[in-house]
Structure 1
Amino acid sequence: MLGAALRRALWLLLHAIYAAFATVDRLAERWRCHLQAYRRAQHLQPESVLPMLKGPVHVAYLVCERQHSYQDLAHLLLWSLAAGVQYFTFYDRNGLLKKNEDKLYAAVETLKVNVPGQIKWTNRPNINGYKNGTSRKITVNIFSSDDGKLRVVSLARDMCSVDRVTNIDADSVSVESFDRRLSDLYPLMPEPNIAIYCGESCCPDGFLPWHIRLTEFLSLGSDHSVKLEKFVQLLETYARCEQRFGK
C-alpha cells in the first residue's frame, strides 16, 4: 500500500516537473519570437518585403483578443507600414480593442523607433503621426460588430423614420442614397485586399459586409503566433492571387 502511494507521488512529481519545464520552454520560445520580430521590424524595408508584382493597399486583421497581445497587434501594424500598406483595419467583434485603444497606441509608440513612416489614427484626428524622413503613411481604423450589420440596420431604420416624418416619397430612397449615407459614417478607404484571421476556420465574424466583396481571407496559422516570416508569406500569397472578378 505504501509502495503504491509512493509510486503515485513520484509520478505526480515527475509530471509536475515536466509540465513546468514545458511551460517555461513555451514562454521562452514566445519571447524569442517577439524579440526576433522586434529586431527585424527595426530594419524592415518595403523593397525587402515586397519583391513581387503587387502589394496590398489595405490590410484588415480579425483580432483574436484571447491569443494576441497589444505588442503582437503593434507588430502587424508596423510591418504593414514598412511594407507600404496604406490602410490597416483592426476588427474586434466584441469592441474590447476600441475600449482599450490607448494600450494599442502605447504599444505602437514603444515599438516604432527607427521604423520610418507616418501613422494616422482615424479615432485620433489630433495626432499627426510619425514620419522620420519618409513619405510613407498608413491610416489605422478600429471597428467592432456595431460597425457592421448593426450599423446597416440602424441606418436603414433612420432613413425610413426620416421619410415618414418629412413625407418623402419612398421611391427617393435608393441604393445610391443609402450608399452615400453609409459613406458619410465611415472614413474614406478602399476595400481590404487582405483580411488576416487566425486559426484553421475562416469566419468573417460580422466584419463590414459591404467591404469584403473582393477581399482575400488568409490564415495567420493554426498556432496563432505572430511572426514576421508568416506575415511576409501572406503578402507573397496575395501577390500570386489571380482575381478574375467573376469571369
Structure 2
Amino acid sequence: MLKIIYKGLWILLVIIANVYEAVQWLLMYLDSKYKLLKQIYFNNLDGIYEIKVLEECKSILTKKPNHVCAIIGKTFDSSSEILSKLAAYALICDIDFISFYDTKEEFTLDHIHIPQFVSSQKMSNGRFLWSMPADKKRVGQLKYKNGLDKSIQVVSLSCKDGRPLLAEVCKELWLQRDSDEIKDAVNNKNKLADKISSEIQKKLNNLPDPDLVIIFDKIMCTYGLLPWNIGFSEFYQVKNSEFFNVDDFANILYKYSKCEQRFGK
C-alpha cells in the first residue's frame, strides 16, 4: 500500500515539475515576443533599439565590469548569434574584455559573427580585438556622442585554463623551490598567493580577473572556471539563452551596479 502511495506522490511531483517548467518557458516566450514587438515599434532594423537601451543603461550605472565572462554550459546550444550579440553589447557598454568559457570544448572565436559596425583583427595571443572606428560610429539614425574609439578584447577560455593551469603553475614554482624568491614566498602566505596570481596572469596573457560571470545553462555551476581568479566575481544565470536579448543584458548590468562588494571586509 505504501509503495503505491509513494509511487503516486512521485508521479504527482513529476507532473507538477513539468507543468512548472512549461509555464516558465511560456512566460519567457511571451516576454521575448513582447520585447520583439517593442523593438519593431522603435524601428529596430539596424540596431537602434539595442543602442538606445545600452546607452541609457550606461548613463545610470554606478560601476561597470572591466571583464565579462560567459560560461557556455552543457545544455547551451553554442549559437554564434547569442554570443555575437553579447560581445557587441559589451563593446557598446565600453567593457574592455569579454571571454567565452566553453565547457564542451566545441566553441572557437571563429564562430563569432562580427557585426557590420565592428572592425575586427586577430591579435598575436589568439584573441580578437573588436573596435568601432570613427567612420563606423553612425548606426542607423543614432550617432554616438563620444568621440573616442570603442574597443574590446574577445577571448576564448577552455577547461585547460582552470585547475590544470593552476596545477601547472604550482608545479613550476615547486621546481623553483630552491630560489630565494620562492623560499621567501613560502614563508609568507600573501607573497605566495601574489606569486601564484602573477604567474597565472602571465599564462593568460595578462587577462584581468572576471568581474561579472554570466552562466548560460539550466544548472548554476562554474564548471571549473578559473578557480584562482573568480574570488570576487559576481555570478548571474541565464537558464534559457533562446530568449536572451539586450534588455536581459542591461538588467544584469543594473544588478551588478547595485551590488555592494566589500572584498571580505
Tell me if both proteins adopt one fold, taking TM over 0.5 as the criterion.
yes
Q: Which residue of 1 aligns with 2:47?
A: 40
Amino acid at match of 1:80: A
2:167 equivalent to 1:153: yes
Q: What is the correspondence of 1:58-137 to structure 2 with a 5 Å cutoff?
A: 58-64=67-73, 66-97=76-107, 100-104=108-112, 107-108=113-114, 112-114=115-117, 123-124=125-126, 129-133=130-134, 134-137=148-151
2:195 equivalent to 1:183: no
Distance 1:225 1:121, change over 3 A: farther
Distance 1:121 1:237, change over 3 A: farther
Q: How many residues align?
A: 206
Task: Please state whether the residue corresponding to 1:71 is helix, strand or coil.
Answer: helix
Between the aligned partners of 1:78 and 1:121, the Cα distance in structure 2 is: 18
Deviates more, 1:204-213 or 1:64-73: 64-73
Mapped contact 1:59–1:195 kept (Cα < 8 A): yes
Indicate which of 162, 173, 183 corresponds to 1:171: 183
CA RMSD of aligned residues (A): 3.3
Mapped contact 2:70–2:100 kept (Cα < 8 A): yes
Gaps of 5+ in 1: 1-25
Between the aligned partners of 1:214 and 1:64, the Cα distance in structure 2 is: 21
Between the aligned partners of 2:80 and 2:59, the Cα distance in structure 1 is: 29
Between the aligned partners of 1:78 and 1:68, the Cα distance in structure 2 is: 16
- Higher radius of gyration, 1 or 2: 1
Deviates more, 1:200-209 or 1:154-163: 154-163
TM-score normalised over the length of structure 1 = 0.69
Q: Which residue of 2 aligns with 1:14?
A: none
Distance 1:79 1:128, change over 3 A: closer
Mapped contact 1:118–1:137 kept (Cα < 8 A): no
2:215 equivalent to 1:212: no
**Aligned-pair identity (%):** 21
Distance 1:144 1:130, change over 3 A: same
Between the aligned partners of 2:110 and 2:89, the Cα distance in structure 1 is: 20
TM-score normalised over the length of structure 2 = 0.65
Distance 1:83 1:224, change over 3 A: same
Distance 1:137 1:38, change over 3 A: farther
Mapped contact 1:41–1:78 kept (Cα < 8 A): no
Mapped contact 2:129–2:154 kept (Cα < 8 A): no
Between the aligned partners of 1:223 and 1:128, the Cα distance in structure 2 is: 25
Once the two structures are superposed, what CA deviation does each residue of 1:69-125 show, in whole Å capped at 9, x if it has no partner? 11111010001101111110111123221xx33222xx12xxx2135x777757446
Q: Which residue of 2 aligns with 1:9?
A: none
